[in-house]
Structure 1
Amino acid sequence: MTPMEIILKEQLISIIRIENSSTIEQIVSSLYNGGIRVVEITMNTPGALDAIRKINELFPDMLVGAGTVLNAEAAEESIQAGAKFLLAPALSQSTIQAGSREGVPVIPGVMTPTEALTAYEYGSEMVKVFPARTLGTEYAKDLAGPLPFIKLMAVGGITLNNAQNYLESSWHSLGIGSELVNSKLVAEENFEEIENKARKFIEIREKINFLSS
């Protein structure tokens, strides 16, 4: 399966932004045990590139991407480190093109239909609507009217309380940040809670897939 096919199948992406990557193995192990199979390491995490390499080595069936990719240079560095997909907070043609040259999908951050269509024209199959909490769960249905060919990922404010609403409202995937991996749980080394939360997100996804089958 291609990285995009895996993202569309798994639907849930854990966004890991931490102050110290020394615990990355424990964090990803907890996510993996909870059922998460797609993770993104943000580039503003210290040692992000080494963390990407390490996860690829230790969890070969985990899809690993890089996030907060701000420019083409960062995209190229991430890809060289082993990132299989890239997320960006904003729309950058050069970043998308850098990924396209290597066959690595870039999912840029957008808020408007114009940005979403522009990203698609630059070569992005999926866009990250950020911050999704500002636009609400129904925004995916609004965009799907004129732009049904663009895949949508919701990022920003995704929680266990609203994940079901998003997945039931035409969003193709969810990027989950501090609700799943946050500095407090990491500082407390409460990896069991990270695993528990991951499992709850998976249960929500499976419930929706069951009901829609």
Structure 2
Amino acid sequence: MYKILQRIDEIKAMAIVRTDSIERACEIADGLIKGGVPIMEISFTLSNANDVIKALRERYKDTLLVGAGTVLDSETARLAILAGAQFIIAPNLSLDVAKTCNRYRIPYMPGCTSITEAITGLEAGASMIKAFPISNFYGPDLISVFKTPIPYMPILASGGVTLDEIPVWIKKGADCLGFGGLLTKGTSKDIAENAKAIRNKMDETMKEGRK
């Protein structure tokens, strides 16, 4: 678990992928790896997400981190983990999912709307809190709302983040950013270029922060 979280902390970005095509998932993965953002969340809004995760894990092994998204219950969490998912993300907090992830030593990132909900998630063993869905409405300022009283809370901000806004989100305290269209649309080459731009913006921001 530690190595997975360490890698997420280092890269600080992931692709939010919704595709039922293994071929397309591999095209996206190739672009992400070339661009320096080798982390994917495969959404369980699709019926064959398990097959996609399994295929990606078998093909890319340790070159790519593959997680499962939109995991609403413990049954789905277990299926995803057995398929090879290396982390679990959800739009909601489920104590049953937290127990399953803890049992298998898999990082869990539940969606939380309030400080109370987020603290409950951390107490249940969540590795990171997904600020959702209010991050879409309040933007980067939400990170400060969470981190002012609880500065040690690891936060994933997913949805609505643009390339130009990356420095704002990171400086506010976001530990990882999830990207949809920028890292999932177009050719493998397009995705690689966008991933590289995100990676460069992340590196520049972190460098500025150390000055």
**TM-score, normalising length: structure 1:** 0.91
Q: Sort the Cα spacing of 1:158 and 1:93 in 2 relative to 1 into closer, same or farther, 3 A.
A: same
Q: For 1:67, which of 66, 69, 91 is the aligned residue?
A: 69
Residues 3-33 of structure 1, C-alpha deviations (whole Å, 9 max, x = no match): 1121111110111112533311111101111
Helix, strand or coil: the match of 2:144?
helix
2:201 aligned partner = 204
1:23 aligned partner = 24
Q: Which amino acid aligns with 2:127?
A: E
1:194 aligned partner = 191
- Check whether the contact 1:125–1:150 (CA below 8 A) recurs between aligned residues: no
1:89 aligned partner = 91
CA distance in 2, matches of 1:31, 1:76: 26
1:130 aligned partner = 132
1:32 aligned partner = 33
1:167 aligned partner = 170
Residues 18-56 of structure 1, C-alpha deviations (whole Å, 9 max, x = no match): 253331111110111111121111112342112112221
The answer to whether the aligner puts 1:140 opposite 2:137 as a matched pair is no
* Greater share of residues in helix: 2
**TM-score, normalising length: structure 2:** 0.92
1:207: Cα distance to partner? 0.6
Residues 49-92 of structure 1, C-alpha deviations (whole Å, 9 max, x = no match): 12112221222221111101010000000000011100001111
5+ residue gaps in structure 2? Answer: none
1:196: Cα distance to partner? 1.2
Q: Percent identity?
A: 29
CA distance in 1, matches of 2:155, 2:118: 9
- Check whether the contact 1:110–1:127 (CA below 8 A) recurs between aligned residues: yes
CA distance in 2, matches of 1:153, 1:40: 12
Bigger CA drift: 64-73 or 39-48?
A: 39-48
CA distance in 2, matches of 1:19, 1:62: 18
5+ residue gaps in structure 1? Answer: none
Helix, strand or coil: the match of 1:2?
helix
Helix, strand or coil: the match of 1:154?
strand
CA distance in 2, matches of 1:199, 1:164: 15
1:156 aligned partner = 159
Q: Which amino acid aligns with 2:81?
A: I
Q: For 2:100, which of 94, 98, 101 is the aligned residue?
A: 98
CA distance in 1, matches of 2:20, 2:78: 23
Helix, strand or coil: the match of 1:179?
helix
- Check whether the contact 1:113–1:143 (CA below 8 A) recurs between aligned residues: yes
- Check whether the contact 1:21–1:48 (CA below 8 A) recurs between aligned residues: no
CA distance in 2, matches of 1:147, 1:122: 16
1:161: Cα distance to partner? 2.5
CA distance in 1, matches of 2:97, 2:10: 25
1:159: Cα distance to partner? 1.6
